[in-house]
């Protein structure tokens, strides 16, 4: 678009650009240009700085930027001053040119801008294509293991069978549960999620099964539980490994008979609910240890889905990272368009004990603090400064003058120190379940931190 | 007889005019003729710039296009400009009827070099084909050797050939089909 109050100026520049094969519209004033910009997107605006009887070129530019932040705006003036040049550039002008200018200058400028825009558009299209191609119900992956899971999800979506999803924290267990629900016949019915670890036992019982008025202190009215709310649909029981023995029994009954009583209730309530459970514990080990009922385990584990940790599907890291950059930069209103090769290398070298959720948080932190439009290795320096995430295993000199128990003691102590006492993370690194780690901490009387 | 008409605006190098006549005939396949001498419109001169406005010259030329003109091309020795740019070698109406070219910056003398007639003649033909090409709907070509490629300086003009590239030739043929059909049918041609 060419915006200039002088007809000869406006039409001759438009004609010159049209000869170059561009589609060009013109506007006689800033107000007309803003109105046109609201209806249509223009790749480049040539806006005259001084336009009498209305708003000037910079004000026009600022208005257009509100609806088209990505537009390339060239301020044109015959009255060049340092102040106006600085103001124009500060307010977002791509270029500031003084007329008359050399034809070569305009040609090169327009050519350069168009080339960059074409590359950006191509980049966006390819990214969206990749995301669509590798996206399944908002789960982004191109890993063969995840592709198998997606196929399984499609196969089981319309079944009534209980599903047990196992995987480390942050691998997307709830996303898989939602994918199962929304791929099947229950999609139009409720999907109700419950975090079994978040609530104390008594509260969890009421949360799941509801309660009658007066059934306990604070129960001032009758309340429907999550099983009732999920009737016809799906209930997602997250962190199922953390529920008490009593609740395990109650849950077993619901799974067997599809019936339950509200807390303090006398009426048996029947529901048609598909149960999907998830855990980052080793439930088989918990069963062996007597901490989880084997009959409940077998009821839940009719269909088992194991989501691999991010470190076992590193090919997903660039895909996920770019997806998060696009989404988070848009949410935060920051112009960050990608990750440099060096930045990706840093990400690829991490172990990601927190998996996809951790990657998302890292990207968000990097975007918040970055100063440029591309995230580089400097923006991820906080990862390597911590020194505790690198995938590249440091050389570990194995001591040969101690017992196996002493070696185990030292390894566990070092890992706990590295994770600052985070049991979950330490267990993940050591590849043992948390209950085993707790036992060893007690055994060796190790401090948590 | 329907033809591309060439009009000299003021005194213009005769050899260049003659070469342009031949060049336009070879490139576009229409008859070409030379019409009478005219002068540049006085209001086209910008004293501050010391140049002539190609926009105003074109407007003037359009007023003189006749029924027998397939296209009308003005050739001047004066330096031309459009307001946005420091100069233009020529200007044309894209898909229109009129074009104008200037020999001023095609001369070696403009750059402080000794005159070179063959170079001037060759450059004149290329720029004339370029501007008339625009009147037939051709836009700038990415082939640097095609006369339709954009030239911002004489080096780029010299890199061009005088014959349209294959792509431009095909587009030209498509764009001029209806004109040729009407000429053959003996009816009025101009858009």
Length of chain B: 191
Q: Which range among A92-106, A177-191, A377-391, B36-50 shows the weakest confidence by mean pLDDT? A: A377-391
Provide the CB-side half-sphere exposure for A195 (13 A, CA): 4
A6 to chain B, any CB pair closer than 8 A? The answer is yes
Q: Do B84 and A8 touch (CB under 8 A)?
A: no
Q: Which residues of B touch A18 (CB under 8 A)?
A: 94, 139
pLDDT, tens only, A271-301: 999 999 999 988 999 999 998 999 999 999 9
Contact A12 B93 (CB under 8 A): no
A107 CB near a chain B CB, below 8 Å? Answer: yes
A281 and A300 in contact (C-beta within 8 Å)?
A: no
Under 8 Å between Cβ of A252 and A299 = yes
Q: How confident is the model at residue B190 (pLDDT cuts 50, 70, 90)?
A: very low
Structure-token match 């599907």, residue found: A313
Asked whether the beta carbons of B99 and B74 are under 8 A apart, the reply is yes
- Band (pLDDT 50/70/90 cuts) for residue A394 is very low
Query: Does residue A182 surpass a pLDDT of 70?
Result: yes
Q: What is the ipTM of this complex?
A: 0.84
Per-residue burial over A238-257, b if 16 or more Cβ lie within 10 Å, else e, is: bbbbbbeeebbebbbebbee
Q: What DSSP string describes A99-113? A: SSB-HHHHHHHHHHH
Q: Which residue has the higher pLDDT, A216 or B29?
A: B29
pLDDT digits (tens, 9 = 90+) for A402-444: 788 888 888 888 888 777 677 777 887 888 877 788 888 888 8
Cβ atoms of residues A162 and A309 within 8 Å: no
Confidence grade of residue A325 (pLDDT, cut at 50, 70, 90): very high
**Residue A364: which pLDDT band, with cuts at 50, 70 and 90?**
very high
Contact A277, A164 (CB under 8 A): yes
CB of B6 closer than 8 Å to CB of B35: yes
Mind listing the pLDDT tens digit for each residue in A132-147? Answer: 666 777 788 989 999 9
> Which residues lie across from A293 on neighbouring strands?
none
Tell whether omega for the bond before B32 is within 30 degrees of 0, i.e. cis.
Answer: no
HSE (side-chain half, CA atoms, 13 Å) at A243: 27
pLDDT given for residue A132 in this prediction: 66
Confidence of residue A392 (pLDDT cuts 50, 70, 90): very low
Place of tokens 């008859």: B31
One-character DSSP codes across B68-134 = TEEEEEEEESS-EE-TTBS-BSEEE-TTSSEEEEE-GGGSGGGGT----HHHHHHHHHHHHHHHHHH
Q: A106 to chain B: which residues are within 8 Å by CB?
A: 84-85
pLDDT (0 to 100) of residue A125: 74
pLDDT at A330: 85
Is B131 tagged catalytic? yes
What is the nearest CA distance from B82 to chain A, expressed in angstroms? 6
Summarised one tens digit per residue, pLDDT across range B124-155 is 999 999 999 999 999 999 899 999 999 999 99
Contacts of A15 in chain B (CB under 8 A): 82, 91, 93-94
Burial grade of A279 (CB within 10 A; 0-12, 13-18, 19 or more): buried
Q: Say whether pLDDT at A120 is over 60.
A: yes
Cα-only R_g, chain B: 16
For residue A241, give the DSSP letter. G
Whether B86 sits inside 8 A of A100 (CB atoms) is yes
State the DSSP H helix or E strand holding residue B154, giving kind and residue range, or none if neither: helix B154-159
pLDDT of A131: 62
pLDDT at residue A387, rounded to an integer = 45
Cβ distance B93 to A15 less than 8 Å, yes or no, reads: yes
Residues of chain A with C-beta less than 8 angstroms from the C-beta of B49: 100
Half-sphere CA count of B114, side-chain side, radius 13 A: 1
Identify the helix (H) or strand (E) that includes residue A117: helix A103-133
In this predicted structure, what is the pLDDT of residue B189? 45
pLDDT over 60 (residue A388): no
Mean of the pLDDT values across residues A337-343? 86
Residue A360 predicted with pLDDT over 90: yes
Task: Report phi then psi at B10, rounded to 5.
Answer: 80, -170
Whether residue A102 and residue B85 make contact (CB cut-off 8 A), yes or no, is: yes
Q: Quick check: B140 contacting A, CB < 8 Å? A: yes
Average pLDDT, chain A: 86
Distance CA A88, CA A69 (A): 15
Indicate the pLDDT class of residue A200, thresholds 50, 70 and 90. confident
Residue-averaged pLDDT of chain B? 92
Residue A386 has pLDDT above 60, yes or no: no
Q: Residue A44's closest CA among A120, A142, A150, A117? A: A117
Distance from CA of B94 to the nearest CA of A (A): 7
Q: Which of B94, B140, B152 sits opposite A15 (nearest CB)?
A: B94
Name the pLDDT band for A130 (thresholds 50, 70, 90): low
Alpha helices in A370-422 (DSSP H): 381-386, 404-418
End-to-end, the C-alpha distance of chain A in Å comes to 63
Q: State pTM to two decimals.
A: 0.54
Chain A hits for B153, CB-CB cut-off 8 Å, are 104
pLDDT of residue A278: 96
Q: A393 pLDDT band (50/70/90 cuts)?
A: very low
- What b/e readout covers A93-126, taking b as 16+ CB neighbours within 10 angstroms? bbbbbebbeebeebbebbeebeeeeeeeeeeeee
User: B87-123, pLDDT tens digit by residue?
Assistant: 999 999 999 999 999 999 999 999 999 999 999 999 9
d(CA A278, CA A232): 20
């Amino acid at each position: 678009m060419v915006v200039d109050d002088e007809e000869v100026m406006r039409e001759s520049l438009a004609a010159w650009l049209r000869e170059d094969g561009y589609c060009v519209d013109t506007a006689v004033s800033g107000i007309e240009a803003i109105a046109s910009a609201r209806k249509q997107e223009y790749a480049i605006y040539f806006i005259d700085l001084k336009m009498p009887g209305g708003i000037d070129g910079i004000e026009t530019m600022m208005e257009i930027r509100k609806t088209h932040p990505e537009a390339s705006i060239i301020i044109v003036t015959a009255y060049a001053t340092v102040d106006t040049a600085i103001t124009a550039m500060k307010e977002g002008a791509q270029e500031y040119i003084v007329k008359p200018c050399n034809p070569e200058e305009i040609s090169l400028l327009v050519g350069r801008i168009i080339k960059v825009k074409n590359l950006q558009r191509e980049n966006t299209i390819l990214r969206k294509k990749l995301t669509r191609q590798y996206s399944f119900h908002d789960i982004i992956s191109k890993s063969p293991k995840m592709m198998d899971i997606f196929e399984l999800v499609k196969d089981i979506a319309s079944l009534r069978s209980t599903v047990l999803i196992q995987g480390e924290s942050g691998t997307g267990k709830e996303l898989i549960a939602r994918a199962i629900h929304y791929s099947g016949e229950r999609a139009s019915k409720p999907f109700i999620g419950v975090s079994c670890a978040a609530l104390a036992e008594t509260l969890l019982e009421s949360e799941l099964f509801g309660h009658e008025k007066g059934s306990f202190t604070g129960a001032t009215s009758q309340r429907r539980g999550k099983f009732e709310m999920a009737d016809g649909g799906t209930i997602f029981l997250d962190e199922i490994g953390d529920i008490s023995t009593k609740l395990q029994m109650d849950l077993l009954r619901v799974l067997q008979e599809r019936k339950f009583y509200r807390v303090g209730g006398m009426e048996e309530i029947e529901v048609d609910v598909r149960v999907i459970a998830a855990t980052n514990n080793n439930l088989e080990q918990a069963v062996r240890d007597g901490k989880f009922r084997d009959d409940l385990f077998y009821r839940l584990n009719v269909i088992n889905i194991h989501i691999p940790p991010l470190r076992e599907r590193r090919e997903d890291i660039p895909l996920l990272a770019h997806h998060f950059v696009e989404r988070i930069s848009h949410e935060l209103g920051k112009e960050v368009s990608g990750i440099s090769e060096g930045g990706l290398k840093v990400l690829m070298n991490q172990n990601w004990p927190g998996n996809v959720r951790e990657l998302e948080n890292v990207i968000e932190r990097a975007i918040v603090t970055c100063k440029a439009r591309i995230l580089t290795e400097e923006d991820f320096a906080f990862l390597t400064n911590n020194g505790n995430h690198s995938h590249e295993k440091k050389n570990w000199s194995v001591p040969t003058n101690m017992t196996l128990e002493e070696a185990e003691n030292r390894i566990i102590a070092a890992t706990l120190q590295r994770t600052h006492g985070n049991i979950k993370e330490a267990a993940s690194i050591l590849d043992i379940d948390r209950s085993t780690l707790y036992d060893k901490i007690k055994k060796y009387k190790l401090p948590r931190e | 007889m329907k033809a591309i008409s060439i009009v000299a605006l003021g005194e213009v190098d005769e050899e260049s005019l003659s070469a342009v006549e031949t060049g336009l005939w070879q490139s576009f396949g229409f008859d070409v003729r030379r019409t009478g001498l005219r002068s540049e419109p006085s209001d086209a001169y910008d004293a501050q710039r010391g140049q002539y406005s190609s926009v105003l010259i074109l407007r003037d030329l359009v007023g003189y296009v006749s029924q027998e003109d397939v296209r009308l091309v003005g050739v001047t020795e004066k330096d031309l400009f459009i307001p946005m740019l420091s100069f233009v070698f020529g200007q044309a109406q894209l898909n229109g009827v009129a074009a104008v070219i200037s020999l001023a910056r095609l001369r070696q003398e403009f750059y402080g070099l000794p005159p070179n007639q063959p170079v001037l003649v060759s450059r004149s033909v290329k720029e004339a084909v370029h501007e008339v090409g625009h009147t037939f709907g051709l836009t700038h070509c990415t082939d640097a050797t095609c006369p339709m490629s954009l030239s911002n300086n004489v080096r780029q003009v010299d890199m061009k050939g005088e014959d349209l590239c294959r792509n431009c030739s095909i587009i030209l043929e498509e764009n001029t089909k209806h004109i040729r059909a009407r000429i053959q049918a003996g009816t009025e041609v101009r858009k």
